[in-house]
Amino acid sequence: MKTLRSTLVAAFAMLSIGLAAHGQATRTWVSGVGDDANPCSRTAPCKTFPGAISKTAVGGEIDNLDTGGFGAVTITKSITLDGGGGQLGSILVSGTPGITINAPGSVVILRNLSIQGIGNSSNPGTYGINVVAASAVYIQHCAILSFGNDGININLGTGAQIFVEDTTSQNNAGNGINIVGTASGVSGEVRVNISESHFSGNAIGVFAGDTSRVAVRTSDANGNTGAGFEVLANTYSATMSIADSVAANNLGAGILAGGGTAASTIRASNVSLFSNTAGFQTSTMGSIQSFGNNHNPGAGAPTSTITAQ
C-alpha cells in the first residue's frame, strides 16, 4: 500500500511539474487569430502580449506568427518581445503607454515592434515605452510614433543600462527620448547608449536630465520643435557624448547644454548641424566640449569648449 501511495505521489508531482512547465513556457506565440485562453504554443497561439506574458517563463521570449496588433502590455520580469520574423508586431493605444517596464533587476528586450499612439485623437497614448524599473533594457529595430508625451520615457530611481539601436521615435508631443535619473552617484547613473536611431518631429529629439550619462553615435535629431540634442540637469549632473551624428531643421538649437542648476555637459565629435535656429548653444551651468571636427555652416562650430557662466 505504501509503495502504491508513493507511486501516486510521485506521479502527481511529475504531473504538476509538467503543468507548471506548460503554463510557463520559455517561448510563446501570439497571432491575430489566436485566443488568450490558448496555451500560447505555436499551434495554439494567444491573441495579445498580455495574454502571452503570463504564460511565459522569466527570461523567455514572445514571438508573433503573423502581422497584427497585440495590445499594450506591462512587463514585470526578464523577457523578450520580438515582432520580427518577417512579420509586423504592433501596439496601438489610446490613453495609456504602449509598453510599461516595471521590472526591478530584470533584463528586457524589445525587438522589431511598431508602437503607435492615436495621435490625432483627443486622448492619444501617453508614452510609447515607459521604463520605470529595470537592470537593462534593449530597444532594437522599433518604431515609436504619435504619443501625447514622450516616445521613450526613461525615469529611474536606480542605475541601469539602456540600449537603443536602429530605432525611430517621431511625431510625439513630448521628447523623442526622455532620460532622467533620481539617484545620486555612479551606481545611480542611468547609462543610455543610442546608435543608428532617428528622432524627428518631437518636442526635443534626445533629452538628458539628472544622473544620466548618454552616448549617441550615427544618429540624427531633425525637425523637432525644440533642440535636437539637449542636456539640462537640476539636482545631479548629466553628460551626453555625441559622435558621427546630425541635427538639422530644429526650431531650437541643434545642440543645447544647460539651463538648470547642475552641471550639464555635451561632448561632440564629427557632428553636423544644418538649418537649426541656433547651432551650438549653452545656458546656465552648461558646457559643450568639441573635438574640433564638427560642422555648423553659417554659425561657426566651437573649437574647444564653450561654457555658460
Taking residues 218-227, what's their average pLDDT?
98
Closest listed residue to residue 294, CA positions, set 269, 260, 275, 276 = 269
Residue 176 contacts residue 202 (beta carbons within 8 Å): yes
Q: Measure the N-to-C terminal CA separation of the chain; round to a whole number of Å.
A: 88
Domain ranges across the chain: 56-307
Residues contacting residue 159 through CB under 8 Å, at least 6 positions apart: 181, 183, 186, 187, 188, 189, 190, 191
Lowest-pLDDT range, 117-121, 126-130, 161-165?
A: 117-121
State whether residue 14 is helix, strand or coil: helix
User: Please, what is the average pLDDT of the chain?
Assistant: 89
pLDDT at 306: 56
Handedness of CA 22, 109, 128, 165 (dihedral sign): negative
pLDDT at 297: 67
Q: What would the CATH number be for the domain defined by 56-307?
A: 2.160.20.10
* pLDDT tens, residue by residue, 260-306: 999 999 999 999 999 999 999 999 999 999 887 888 865 544 544 55
Pull the grid cell for residue 192: 543610455
Taking residues 117-138, what's their average pLDDT?
92
Element at 86 (helix H, strand E):
none
What is the full DSSP assignment across 107-167?
EEEEESEEEEE-TTSSS--S-SEEEEE-SEEEEES-EEE--SS-SEEEEESS-EEEEEES-
Pull the grid cell for residue 239: 553628460
Pull the grid cell for residue 144: 515609436
Pull the grid cell for residue 198: 532617428
What is the full DSSP assignment across 178-232?
EEEE---SGGG-EEEEEES-EEESSSSSEEE-TTEEEEEES-EEES-SS-SEEE-
Residues contacting residue 25 through CB under 8 Å, at least 6 positions apart: 39, 40, 41, 55, 56, 57, 60
pLDDT at 252: 96
Q: What is the pTM of this model?
A: 0.89
Q: Considering the chain, what percentage of its residues have pLDDT values greater than 90?
A: 78
Element at 261 (helix H, strand E):
none
Residue 228 contacts residue 206 (beta carbons within 8 Å): yes
Residues 200, 235: Cα–Cα separation, whole Å: 28
Residue 224 contacts residue 230 (beta carbons within 8 Å): no
